[in-house]
Amino acid sequence: MEKRIILLAEDTELLLEIQRSLLQRDSFDLHTARTGERALEKAMELKPHLVMLSDIMPDTTGREVCSAIKSNPGLKGTKVIIATSNPSKEVLAECVDAGCDGIVTKPFEREKLLESVQKLLGETFRRKPRYHVEIPCAVYIERRGLPAVMVDISEIGCRLEMDDPPARDTAVEVSFDLPDTVQSVTWKGVTRWSIPGNSEADFSGIGVEFLEVPADDIEILRDILDSMPEERRL
C-alpha cells in the first residue's frame, strides 16, 4: 500500500516532536520543515498528501504558506491543516480564506489531531484501544528507579506522568500493578516520546512502548481491559 506523505511545518522542536510521535505510523512517511519558506520548498519537492502548518513561523504565517500551496497547480489535491494557538474568529476566518482543509489548536489534543488527519486522508488508525487508569509505578533506567503515575494503558504501551522524564528512545523497565488488581509486574519498554516538565505543554512525562512482555501477562491485561467500562476508553 502506498504510504501517505505528510509534511509537518513547525519551528518549535517540542511541538514538532509531539506531532511526530502522534502520527508515527507504518502507513505514513513523515517529513519536517522549520520555516514557511522551507515548507513550501519541500511541498514542491515531495508533493505530500497532507501538510500541517504552524500558523506562526519565523519568516511567515501558515496562512500565507497555505495560500501559496492552494494556488500552485503542481500541488493540486494536497490537503492543508493549520495549527494555531490563537483560535480567534479573525484568525480562523483568515485560515479558511487561505483555503485550508482543517484547523487544530495548540496545545494539541491527541484525539482531535488524529481525527483531523483521519478525516482528510481517509486513514483508519490501527492502534490498540487505550484506557484511563491512575496507577502509581516506578520507572527503572539502568537500575535507577523514578516515581511516576500511569495515566493510560493499552496492550502495547502506556503513558506515564513524571517530573523528570527520560529522553526519547530510552530503554526502561516499568513496575506497576495491573489495573484493578494487586498483581505486580515489571515490563521492559522503550520511550517513544518525552515531554519535559519545563515545556510549553501542560503535561510532563513519557509514552512507553512495551517490549518483551510475557504472553501470559498480555492475556491477563487483555482480559482486564476488555472488562473495563466504555467510559474509561480513550
Q: Is 146 helix (H, G, I), strand (E, B) or coil?
A: strand
What tens digit of pLDDT does each residue of 103-120 get?
Answer: 998 888 777 888 888 888
Domain residue spans in the chain? 4-121, 131-232
| Residue 204: predicted pLDDT | 80
Question: What confidence tier does 52 reach under pLDDT thresholds 50, 70, 90?
Answer: very high
pTM above 0.75, yes or no: no
Q: What is the DSSP string of 155-213?
A: SSEEEEE-SSPPPTT-EEEEEEEPTTS--EEEEEEEEEEEE-TTSSSS--EEEEEEES-
CB distance 102 to 79 below 8 Å = yes
- Gap between the Cα atoms of 109 and 207, Å rounded: 15
- The arithmetic mean of pLDDT across residues 81-93, rounded, is 91
CA 186, CA 212: separation in Å to the nearest integer? 11
Q: What is the pLDDT of residue 109?
A: 78
CATH domain 4-121 topology: Rossmann fold (3.40.50)
Q: How much of the chain exceeds pLDDT 90, in percent?
A: 57
Asked if the domains 4-121 and 131-232 are classified in one and the same CATH topology, the answer is no
- pLDDT-based confidence at 126, cuts 50/70/90? very low
For residue 90, give the C-alpha cell: 479573525
Q: Which CATH number applies to 131-232?
A: 2.40.10.220
